[in-house]
Amino acid sequence: MAERPTKKSWAEPFKIKVVEPIKMTTRDYRLKCIEEAGYNTFLLKSEDVYIDLLTDSGTSAMSDHQWAGMMLGDEAYAGSRNFYHLEDVIRKYYGYKWIVPTHQGRAAEHIISQILIKDGDYIPGNMYFTTTRLHQELAGGNFVDVIIDEAHDPTNEHPFKADIDLQKLEDLIKKVGAEKVPYISMATAVNMAGGQPISLGNLKEVREMSHKYGIPIIHDATRVAENAYLIKEREPGYQDKTIAEIIREICDLTDGCTMSAKKDCLVNIGGFLAVNDEELYKKAQNMVVVYEGLHTYGGMAGRDMEAVARGLEESVEYEHIKARIGQVQYLGEKVLGWDIPIIVPIGTHGVFLDARRFLPHIDQDEFPAQTLAAQIFVESGVRSMERGNVSAGRDPRTGKNRRPALELVRLTVPRRVYTQAHMDVTAEAILEVFDNRDKVKGLKFTYEPEYLRFFQARFEPIT
């Protein structure tokens, strides 16, 4: 007889109404595909992928309520009713006063960076994100990582690895002077650290410092609901609060946010910038017409804004977020059970394989994570993404690869898209690659683009 369960299972709070077929291919076919794609999973064709864990960005399944909202798109050039609905929802759940819609997150990052950063400024943040740092640098700023040291150690089980090291933050402010620090760049559920949360206790202390030196906090709210769930699970005093209450408490400790709605908000495209300062808002509102579109649509159609508004409301529901993170944890626990090296604690939006320990024989300048992502695709048809030396890029001062402490392959789980059976197949595929890891060889560049090289770079195996 099978063992009786020791804990209660959870299940997704939805049933499936529409399905999209996916196809399994042969190993030979996939080898040809990855060669043609220059060993970069971003350059594969989606139809050649079996289970697509490249990203959780824009890959969510929308609800019937969101799809119904798409039919209510008000496509007026100016003053679309969907914009006002979106504005109401953002004000209600995040509490920021002024909203500038954009087509996705990086457009909001571009606008805020151009407005706030002056040449030679320093922007402290809890670990870099690729597009965020690039926009800060393009505006003349220097990003400085002030996340706690634990975040750079994949084996450290700290429950809030996205916390900011207050000493590092204050040291920087004292060294360069507060006038050279335009804002603190604080992300919830830090992507590059493995989807690790910040604690409210830490954020309150950061807020005190921000007040002490008169430096605002700009929040990357891309995965704020996921962070809120882990606060409810892990931080004393928050067990009885709702996800919505925790989100609001986070946002209230900050001065504005950039948002890629393609993640938490359960849509395929969309984003916004939201701020409390009216002067800042006016500047952003003026800039958005240059780069995105009128300030009542940014880069979005009316129907897109409606889908974001409805998705944002769904994102704060406890049953949704519990199942979402539950699925990621399910995959993580499965591979961890076979002693496959991943980042612990398991994060919010994906399972991050530690490529340093997975492929210890490959030097970081031969791109172990890039190599591993390619190998996983060849063996199984599962698509993942490199988050290591290729993503980190070159240091603009030295021109050398940055060789970040974390050399990761991200198995990112789209929201409401795959079943537990897909997670089982994925875990078994990783195990197979792990068993044959000694034979895998590293990669070298054949083409290296100037900006965000990981998206379009091409490689070949080192022989």
| Catalytic annotation, pick one of 56, 163, 220, 255 | 220
In the list 101, 125, 154, 271, the residue contacting ligand F0G (rule: CB under 6 A) is: 271
Q: Is 377 a catalytic site residue?
A: no
Find where tokens 């030979």 sit. Answer: 28
Q: Is 30 a catalytic site residue?
A: no
Find where tokens 């197979």 sit. Answer: 432
DSSP letter for 450, please: S
| 187 is a contact residue toward ligand F0G (CB under 6 A) | yes
Minimum Å gap between C-beta 312 and ligand F0G is 14
In the list 133, 161, 262, 303, the residue contacting ligand F0G (rule: CB under 6 A) is: 262
Cβ burial 219-245 (10 Å sphere, 16+ → b, else e) = bbbbbbbbbbbbbbeebeebeebebbe
Distances (CA, A) of 215 to 145, 206, 209, 211: 16, 10, 8, 7
In the chain, the amino acid numbered 166 is L
Minimum Å gap between C-beta 367 and ligand F0G is 18
Cβ burial 395-428 (10 Å sphere, 16+ → b, else e) = eeeeeebbebebbbbbbbbbbbbbeeebbebbbe
Residue nearest to ligand F0G (CB): 105
HEC profile of 119-186: CCCEEEECCCCHHHHHHHHHCCCEEEECECHHHHCCCCCCCCCCCECHHHHHHHHHHHCHHHCCCEEE
| Catalytic annotation, pick one of 358, 377, 454, 459 | 454
Minimum Å gap between C-beta 132 and ligand F0G is 6
Q: Is 358 a catalytic site residue?
A: no
| 260 is a contact residue toward ligand F0G (CB under 6 A) | yes
Binding mask 188-227 for ligand F0G (x = CB under 6 A): ---x----------------------------x-x-----
| 185 is a contact residue toward ligand F0G (CB under 6 A) | no
| Catalytic annotation, pick one of 106, 207, 387, 410 | 387
In the list 105, 154, 404, 442, the residue contacting ligand F0G (rule: CB under 6 A) is: 105
- Could you tell me which stretch among 6-14, 20-28, 98-106, 224-232 binds ligand F0G (CB under 6 A)? 98-106
| 315 is a contact residue toward ligand F0G (CB under 6 A) | no
Distances (CA, A) of 457 to 48, 131, 450: 19, 16, 9
Contacts with 179 (C-beta within 8 Å, 6 or more apart), sequence order: none
Instruction: Pick the closer one to ligand F0G by CB: 191 or 380.
Output: 191
Binding mask 129-148 for ligand F0G (x = CB under 6 A): x-xx----------------
| 128 is a contact residue toward ligand F0G (CB under 6 A) | no
Reduced to 3 DSSP states, what percent helix, strand and coil does the chain have, rounded to the nearest 5? Answer: 45, 15, 40
Find where tokens 């090289």 sit. Answer: 453
Any idea which residues carry the catalytic annotation?
77, 129-130, 220, 263, 387, 454
Give the binding site for ligand F0G (CB under 6 A).
Answer: 55, 57, 104-106, 129, 131-132, 187, 191, 220, 222, 260, 262, 271
